[in-house]
Amino acid sequence: MIDKLVKKIQETDAPITVGLDPMLSYVPEHIQKAAFAEYGETLAGAAEAIWQFNKEIIDATYDLIPAVKPQVAMYEQFGVEGMKAFQKTIEYCHEKDLVVIGDVKRGDIGSTSAAYAAGHLGKVQVGSKTCTAFDEDFITVNPYLGTDGIRPFVDVCKEEKKGLFILVKTSNPSSGEFQDRIIDGKPLYEHVAEKVAAWGADCMGASYSAIGAVVGATYPEIGKVLRKVMPNSFILVPGYGAQGGKGKNLVHYFNKDGLGAIVNSSRGIIAAYKQEAYARFGAEHFAEASRQAVIDMAEDIRGALK
């Protein structure tokens, strides 16, 4: 899957993912109204609204991008109905041949991580049959529990040719509270990064490991350091745009081959029509605004990498 991701990045010349994080407040009123008319102001109504919203954005952008990153929390908040929308979104992205990065940030002890890995990346055994549940291509995972919390995910990745992005340095303001603390002369995030490199060493694709890292766009100096600590790991970079990151700050997240990082934007793309720069599209044409925002973002990053 890491090879497919690299290939699709090269084909689209756009190392970006669209974050499908549909807060209900991003969904234009006409879509909400239609969904509520059919299902009422219920969890099912909300789930239908975010699904229709996603579908239009996918239709308007899939030819420009290699991957999407749905944030499961935005679906999980609507309960079982929300999880149906999550699954439908993943299936639809697969139909469009997009790489799907499930932003689930799971992580637990051995057998429990194994269950998460089976549900999101692998297969589960039910009697004599094997079934698949959510079936993302990559997921994000949390490293706080150490190697035996991560190993079951890595095992499934090897078996199923899937991949991970492990949280190393997150984009939020207080990420430093624990992640930046100095241990033996180096910040915790650097120790985690060394582990990511080690965990990924025997999961190599053609040029990159299937085991990548999450490093926020909001800390470019740290990105520069971590790029060197994990030379073979792909870096998923959240925090572009709305959280403040810009293309020119992200150059050092990439390797000299122009690869090695993939930058995510969520609100900046899916709610583009709410920004002044794209207001001309109007709420009716929100998906076209998203398409334009993708074009602009890809150009910004391409320009910076030149």
Residue closest to 211 by CA, chosen among 228, 194, 190: 194
Q: Which is nearer to a copy of itself, 187 or 260 (CB)?
A: 187
Q: Which region among 66-74, 196-204, 228-236, 283-291 touches a copy of itself (by CB under 8 A)?
A: 66-74
Is residue 274 part of the contact set for a copy of itself (CB under 8 A)?
Answer: no
Among 15, 28, 45, 241, binds a copy of itself (CB under 8 A): 45
Find the binder of a copy of itself among 12, 87, 207, 255 (CB under 8 A).
Answer: 87
DSSP label at residue 274: G
Give the 3-state DSSP-derived string for 33-59, with helices as H, strands as E and coil as C.
HHHHHHHCCCHHHHHHHHHHHHHHHHH
Window contacting a copy of itself (CB under 8 A); options: 4-12, 38-46, 204-212, 254-262: 38-46
| 183 lines the binding site for a copy of itself (CB under 8 A) | yes
The yes-or-no answer on residue 105 being catalytic is yes
Residue 155 found at the interface with a copy of itself (CB under 8 A): no
Q: What is the total residue count of the chain?
A: 306
177 binding a copy of itself? (CB under 8 A):
yes
Whose Cβ is closer to a copy of itself: residue 6's or residue 72's?
72
- CB nearer a copy of itself, residue 156 or residue 293: 156
The answer to whether 118 contacts a copy of itself (rule: CB under 8 A) is yes
Q: Strand 261-265 and strand 67-68: pairing?
A: unpaired
Distances from the Cα of 267 to the Cα of 8, 77, 289, angstroms = 23, 18, 12
Exposed, middle or buried: residue 305 (CB in 10 Å: 0-12, 13-18, 19+)? Answer: middle
Q: Which residue has the tokens 């929308």?
A: 85
Cβ atoms of residues 9 and 66 within 8 Å: yes
Tell me the window of 56-64, 141-149, 249-257, 280-288 that interacts with a copy of itself (CB under 8 A). 141-149
Separation of alpha carbons 3 and 243, rounded Å:
29
Can you tell me which of 162, 195, 227, 291 binds a copy of itself, judged by CB under 8 A?
Answer: 195
Closest among 150, 151, 272, 138 to 208, alpha carbons compared: 138
**What is the nearest approach in angstroms of a copy of itself to the Cβ of residue 288?**
25
* The two three-digit tokens of residue 200, written as one number: 């990924």
SS3 assignment, position 150: helix
Q: Which of 4, 105, 123, 246 is catalytic?
A: 105
CA distance 31 to 15: 30
Tokens in use for 102? 């499930």
Instruction: Give backbone dihedrals phi and psi of 156, rounded to 5 degrees, phi first.
Output: -65, -35
- Of 11, 126, 185, 257, which lies in the binding site for a copy of itself, with binding defined by CB under 8 A? 126
Tokens of 227: 């790029």
112 binding a copy of itself? (CB under 8 A):
yes
Least spacing, CB of residue 132 vs a copy of itself, in Å: 8
83 lies in the binding site for a copy of itself (CB under 8 A): yes
Least distance to a copy of itself, CB of residue 278, Å: 21
**Residue 46 interacting with a copy of itself (CB under 8 A):** yes
Is residue 143 near a copy of itself by the rule CB under 8 A?
yes
Radius of gyration of the chain (CA): 19
- Is 159 a binder of a copy of itself (CB under 8 A)? no
Active centre residues (catalytic): 105
